């Protein structure tokens, strides 16, 4: 993670986070550990809990706590009660800055320590689902601190969502099933940046891709990219593999399951495990359920068809794989570290609300990444700069 390493070395020299307490609710992976190390190097006191009970890499959690001075509260497979307890422990530590992947931490602070929320320097949010929650808080007039919408930064959308989730979702599905995608039909539900990435990689692996999308513009874009576009009920009859990436809920439910083919595979790559309606799937499994493979739960319906749910409907790239490759998280987490620095440097100057990531942060991350790849690009000369800013030129 060369970009993050570069940022970490500068933070170590300048110590802009000296004495600041930062708590993060993120997937506990090797990449996240490097972000925590960068914050510690900058002088922060760091606490970390998991953003999902199934995504923690236990060896990483132990090493981070023992060797790098972070407080880590996470264990793979922890119960819902343990998960909530870990979040609450971080709430009680009264962090000045939060980093979220799904908004569990910042929401919990607003719920159980609202007066502390108003004293925070701010937070960051990494996912679409988390931003929906933070925006709901803002609309209700309850959001008491600035939250940077990392998920909507240019580097995040273009690289993390499209290339990161695109590849790692397919990787998680293949690790869990060892399925050949060539010749199969993959249904992608949701055509945001993540859906675009999943569709692209599925097509690259030889699958026929169907896209389901409720936004007309995105649906049209998918059609013009050459995908089949249709409603989920029609797609239910056609798909071999279904991937939900909407950030919403109940995207695949009883009426869809009843139409699916024998052997269909159901995977969710959205942050929360609500996109595949598990209660419906369980209720329809009158023929029984069994663990076909470690992360594959087979459900037999009354019509004899078997539907295979991956990783309990939890975010498949992290629950069945290792999440995004380090080279993508390098950019995301370098951006996160710079966002934390920005919140601290601008203490008292940012208004409560959902705020965009400053353009300079995106530019700096992209510049450092290009440098690490040995890629040089051109700059505009003076005439070109003037041309771009003048209105007088025309046909």
Binding range to ligand ADE, per CB under 6 A, among 8-16, 151-159, 235-243, 317-325 = 317-325
Contacts 24+ apart (CB under 8 A), 105-112: 105/23, 105/24, 105/25, 105/49, 106/134, 106/145, 106/147, 107/133, 107/134, 107/137, 110/137, 110/142, 110/143, 110/144, 112/88
Which residues pair with residue 228 across a beta bridge? 210
What is the SS3 assignment for 128? helix
Q: Residues for the chain: how many in total? A: 395
Does residue 78 belong to the site contacting ligand ADE (CB under 6 A)? no
Does residue 201 belong to the site contacting ligand ADE (CB under 6 A)? no
Q: Which of 31, 171, 213, 330 binds ligand ADE (CB under 6 A)?
A: 31
E-assigned strands of 78-121? Answer: 97-100
Does residue 32 belong to the site contacting ligand ADE (CB under 6 A)? yes
Does residue 335 belong to the site contacting ligand ADE (CB under 6 A)? no
Q: SS3 breakdown of the chain: % helix, strand, coil, rounded to 5?
A: 50, 15, 35
Smaller CB distance to ligand ADE: residue 55 or 208?
A: 55
Binding range to ligand ADE, per CB under 6 A, among 39-47, 115-123, 303-311, 323-331 = 323-331
Does residue 169 belong to the site contacting ligand ADE (CB under 6 A)? no
**Closest CB 215 distance from ligand ADE, rounded Å:** 24
Does residue 27 belong to the site contacting ligand ADE (CB under 6 A)? yes
Expressed in angstroms, the distance from the first to the final Cα of the chain is 47
Report in angstroms the alpha-carbon separations of 234 from 118, 210, 219. 48, 10, 15
H or E element at residue 279: helix 278-284
**Closest CB 278 distance from ligand ADE, rounded Å:** 22
Does residue 246 belong to the site contacting ligand ADE (CB under 6 A)? no
Contact 244/273 with Cβ under 8 angstroms? no
Smaller CB distance to ligand ADE: residue 271 or 342?
A: 271
DSSP code string of 23-35: EEEE--SHHHHHH
Backbone phi and psi for residue 41, each to the nearest 5 degrees, phi listed first: -60, -35
Contact 124/98 with Cβ under 8 angstroms? yes
Q: Which of 166, 197, 323, 335 binds ligand ADE (CB under 6 A)?
A: 323
Does residue 253 belong to the site contacting ligand ADE (CB under 6 A)? no
**Closest CB 333 distance from ligand ADE, rounded Å:** 8
Does residue 270 belong to the site contacting ligand ADE (CB under 6 A)? no
**Closest CB 325 distance from ligand ADE, rounded Å:** 7
Q: Which of 329, 338, 340, 343 binds ligand ADE (CB under 6 A)?
A: 329
**Closest CB 115 distance from ligand ADE, rounded Å:** 30
* Interface size with ligand ADE, residues (CB under 6 A): 9
Does residue 369 belong to the site contacting ligand ADE (CB under 6 A)? no
Binding range to ligand ADE, per CB under 6 A, among 21-29, 149-157, 189-197, 206-214 = 21-29
**Which tokens sit at 348?**
């008292």
Smaller CB distance to ligand ADE: residue 45 or 194?
A: 194
Smaller CB distance to ligand ADE: residue 133 or 324?
A: 324
**Closest CB 132 distance from ligand ADE, rounded Å:** 17
CA quadruple 384, 388, 390, 394: dihedral, nearest 10? 90
Contacts of 26 (CB under 8 A, 6+ apart): 32, 35, 48, 50, 51, 99, 100, 101, 126
Please give the residue ranges that form the binding site for ligand ADE (CB under 6 A): 26-27, 29, 31-32, 318, 323-324, 329
């Amino acid at each position: 993670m060369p970009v993050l390493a570069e940022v970490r070395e500068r933070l170590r020299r300048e110590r802009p986070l000296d004495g600041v307490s930062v708590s993060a609710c993120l997937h506990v992976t090797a990449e996240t550990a490097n972000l925590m190390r960068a914050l510690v190097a900058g002088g922060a006191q760091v606490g970390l809990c998991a953003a999902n009970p199934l995504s923690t890499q236990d060896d990483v959690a132990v090493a981070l706590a023992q060797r790098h001075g972070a407080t880590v509260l996470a264990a793979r497979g922890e119960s819902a009660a343990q998960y909530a307890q870990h979040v609450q422990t971080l709430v009680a530590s009264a962090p000045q800055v939060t980093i979220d992947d799904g908004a569990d931490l910042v929401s919990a602070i607003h719920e159980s320590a609202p007066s502390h929320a108003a004293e925070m320097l701010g937070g960051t949010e990494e996912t679409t689902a988390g931003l929906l929650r933070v925006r709901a808080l803002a609309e209700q007039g309850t959001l008491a601190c600035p939250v940077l919408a990392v998920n909507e930064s240019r580097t995040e959308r273009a690289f993390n969502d499209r290339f990161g989730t695109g590849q790692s979702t397919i990787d998680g599905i293949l690790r869990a099933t060892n399925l050949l995608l060539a010749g199969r039909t993959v249904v992608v539900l949701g055509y945001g940046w993540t859906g675009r990435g999943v569709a692209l990689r599925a097509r690259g692996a030889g699958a026929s891709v169907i896209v389901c999308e409720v936004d007309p513009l995105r649906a049209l874009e998918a059609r013009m990219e050459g995908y089949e576009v249709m409603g989920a009920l029609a797609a239910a009859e056609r798909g071999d593999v279904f991937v939900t990436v909407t950030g919403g809920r109940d995207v695949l439910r009883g009426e869809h399951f009843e139409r699916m083919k024998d052997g269909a595979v159901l995977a969710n790559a959205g942050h929360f495990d609500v996109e595949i309606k598990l209660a419906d799937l369980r209720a329809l499994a009158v023929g029984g359920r069994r663990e076909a493979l470690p992360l594959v739960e087979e459900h037999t319906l009354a019509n004899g068809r078997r539907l295979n749910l991956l990783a309990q409907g939890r975010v498949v790239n992290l629950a069945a794989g290792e999440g995004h490759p380090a080279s993508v998280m390098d950019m995301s987490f370098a951006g996160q570290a710079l966002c934390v620095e920005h919140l601290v440097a601008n203490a008292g100057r940012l208004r409560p609300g959902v705020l965009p990531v400053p353009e300079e942060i995106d530019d700096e991350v992209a510049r450092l990444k290009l440098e690490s790849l040995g890629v040089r690009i051109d700059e505009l000369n003076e005439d070109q700069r003037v041309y771009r800013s003048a209105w007088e030129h025309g046909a």
